[in-house]
Amino acid sequence: MSLKYCQGPECHTHKTKDRIKGMQGSKTYQTRRRSSFYYGNDNFCSLNCQNDWFNKYGDQAIDHYGRATEAKHLTQDNAWSKEYDWNSDYNNRQYIYVNGITKEQRPLTEEQYRDKSYTLNTGE
Ligand SMILES: [Zn+2]
């Protein structure tokens, strides 16, 4: 199992006992290292560290990937969302596509439900 570091730029400054590492006499607070993390797509050990990253790099990231300069619109062409019937039996779950604008429902197979690239949406 490979370990990776928390990407929080200030992780080592959040003083918790589990961050103290090193040889006796030269111990320091260090960036957390784990096989997986709960936050920010498995990149951050805590919401604090995720927020630290955004505070330091967020504006650059938004500028890099493109700042929103106009409103997006939810229309019948991009309002499809995958759902399943919470009342259906767990072993025979009924999956559906629901249009959030027209309320139209269409049946979905479980495979289509789990396939992140499968969509009826034709716009953003
Ligand atoms: Zn961290």
Instruction: Please tell me the pTM assigned to this model.
Output: 0.70
Instruction: Report CA(21)–ligand 1 centroid distance (Å).
Output: 14
Instruction: Report CA(116)–ligand 1 centroid distance (Å).
Output: 29
Residue 69 binned pLDDT confidence (cut-offs 50, 70, 90): very high
CA distance 86 to 69: 38
Tell me if residue 107 falls in helix, strand or coil: strand
CA distance 55 to 47: 12
pLDDT of residue 89: 79
Residues linked to residue 97 through DSSP beta bridges, in sequence order: 82, 106
pLDDT of residue 1: 73
Amino acid residing at 80? W
Asked whether 44 and 37 are in contact (CB, 8 A), the reply is yes
Instruction: Report CA(13)–ligand 1 centroid distance (Å).
Output: 9
pLDDT of residue 86: 77
> Once rounded to an integer, what is the mean pLDDT over residues 1-28?
95
pLDDT of residue 99: 95
Asked whether 43 and 7 are in contact (CB, 8 A), the reply is yes
| Tokens 């495979």 found at | 111
Instruction: Report CA(47)–ligand 1 centroid distance (Å).
Output: 8
